[in-house]
Amino acid sequence: MEKIGYKKADWINSTNIYEVNLRQYTIEGSFNAFAKELPRLKDMGVETLWFMPITPIAEKNKKGSLGSYYACSDYISINPEFGTLEDFKNLVTLAHAMNFKVVIDWVANHTGWDHVWTKSHPDYYKKEETTGDFKIASGMDDIIELDFNNPDLRKAMIQAMEYWVRECDIDGFRCDLAFWVVLDFWKEARTHLEKIKILLWLAETDPLENPGYMEVFDAMYTWTWMHKTADFYKQQIDFSVLEDVFKNYDTICADHCMPLWFTSNHDENTWNGTEYEKYGEMAILLAVFSFTRNGMPMIYSGQELPNLKRLDFFDKDVIAWDGRNALHGFYKILLNLHSTNKALRAMDPEVITYTLDPEGEKSGITFLRKKEKSEVLVLLNFSNEEKIFTVKSEHLEGTYKNVFGNDELMINKEIKTKIKPWGFSVYEKS
């Protein structure tokens, strides 16, 4: 499904995403406080920073003491909780100087109850048939739905998006609940904004559920994979179901849309639990999958700690940083491998992925990704037992180095190696 007429940012094929929960990141919860974290994130290998909504939060029907990031009261203002517009512009400038890209969350479907438009343009909103009041969005009583049948609303929304590109030089949008908004609006928005800057367009929707949105978006969520892996770990589905799911992503996304792989994000952490609650011992294995399979990998704030608690959504609940960040080195290896090895480029028609089934093993995922002379071999043990993986392929030949160690393997069309329970091995061809 080619994105006819759209241009692709030249940096997105090898990038990664780090989701920033600014409110909970530091005691101050501000742009200026977060700026001090950039050197650490740069060292870890983070390339693209996605900030949850930075716009002010509506007071009417506010949840908790601070309200939801996603109940906006003005699309072209800064949440004073985080600082000033100048603070954000300075943060973007600093991030760019350090070669980060900056993406902001865009909540197009709905606003809070006292958004400035509710007074200046009430016609921008859908109305309840029985009461004539603003329509509540899917039962969430702190937000109300916008009406994308109104051409004036569309124009105003695109102008608001343009404001952040021109004023702050951001590099893309993560579009909240993208599938709740009609597809042709996103086409209109991307067409307009591409005249100003080539951006990353990331949709919170699954290509397996809403494939049409691949026409516009560069990357889309893998919700199906996330849910099925949790079901598998809880022994509610068979391993073959997992294989079908990731192969379906390969087929439908191909070289025109990137699956966004993740084990946690702000919604999952708060409402469904940390990755360790959902996946237990399998959590680290899934992270390795996320960084080596075709697609774009994402880390959520605190996963490098690792964060073992659910963060409050509507109140202050600072991540309990301990200064050690035990998984910093683990993620650094994966982030750098993903960014530097051409075989892991996403949405690249020149990258070939070979599925290499381990002999006699029905709970292993093994694959070789290759572009020109670059190769990455990945062996994943999706079981709670130690396994010996025997893999044969005419494509395996040469010297391969373990990225998580110093050992090297000379492979001549066959590899036989022991993998720990919920374990993995990742080899890069020398």
**Over pLDDT 90: what percentage of the chain?**
95
Q: Half-sphere exposure of 327 toward its Cβ, with a 13 Å CA cutoff? A: 18
Contacts of 231 (CB under 8 A, 6+ apart): 237, 241
**The residue type at 39:** P
pLDDT tens for residues 14-49?
A: 999 999 999 999 999 999 999 999 999 999 999 999
Q: How far apart are CA 169 and CA 157, in angstroms?
A: 17
Q: What pLDDT shows up at residue 227?
A: 95
pLDDT of residue 3: 59
Token readout for 169 is 């030089």
Task: Give the pLDDT confidence score for residue 4 in this predicted structure.
Answer: 63
Q: What is the DSSP letter of 134?
A: B
Q: Using one digit for the tens of pLDDT, what is the confidence trace for 349-376?
A: 999 999 998 888 889 999 999 999 999 9
Rg (CA), the chain: 22
Looking at this protein, which amino acid is placed at residue 335?
L
CA–CA separation, 401 and 377 (whole Å): 10
- Do the strands 200-203 and 172-175 form a parallel or antiparallel pair, or are they unpaired? parallel
What is the full DSSP assignment across 216-264? T-SEEE-HHHHHHHHHHHTTSS-HHHHHHHHHHHHHHHTTT-EEEE-S-
CA nearest 221: which of 172, 177, 260, 272? 260
- Over 70: is that where the pLDDT of 424 sits? yes
Q: Which amino acid, residue 165? A: V
Q: Residue 241: phi, psi to the nearest 5?
A: -65, -40
pLDDT tens for each residue of 196-238: 999 999 999 999 999 999 999 999 999 999 999 999 999 999 9
What's the pTM value of the predicted model, to 2 decimals?
Answer: 0.97
Distance CA 175, CA 164 (A): 14
Q: How confident is the model at residue 179 (pLDDT cuts 50, 70, 90)?
A: very high
Q: What are the CA-CA distances from residue 120 to residues 109, 116, 148, 202, 303 (Å)?
A: 18, 6, 17, 30, 42
pLDDT of 90 reads 98
Segment 259-284 mean pLDDT: 98
Is the pLDDT confidence value at 258 over 70?
yes
Beta strands across the sheet bearing 136-137: 110-112, 140-145, 136-137
Percent of the chain residues topping a pLDDT of 70 = 99
Strands 258-261, 296-300: parallel, antiparallel or unpaired by DSSP? parallel
Query: Per-residue pLDDT tens for 152-167?
Result: 999 999 999 999 999 9
Mean pLDDT of the chain: 96
**Position 118 pLDDT exceeds 90:** yes
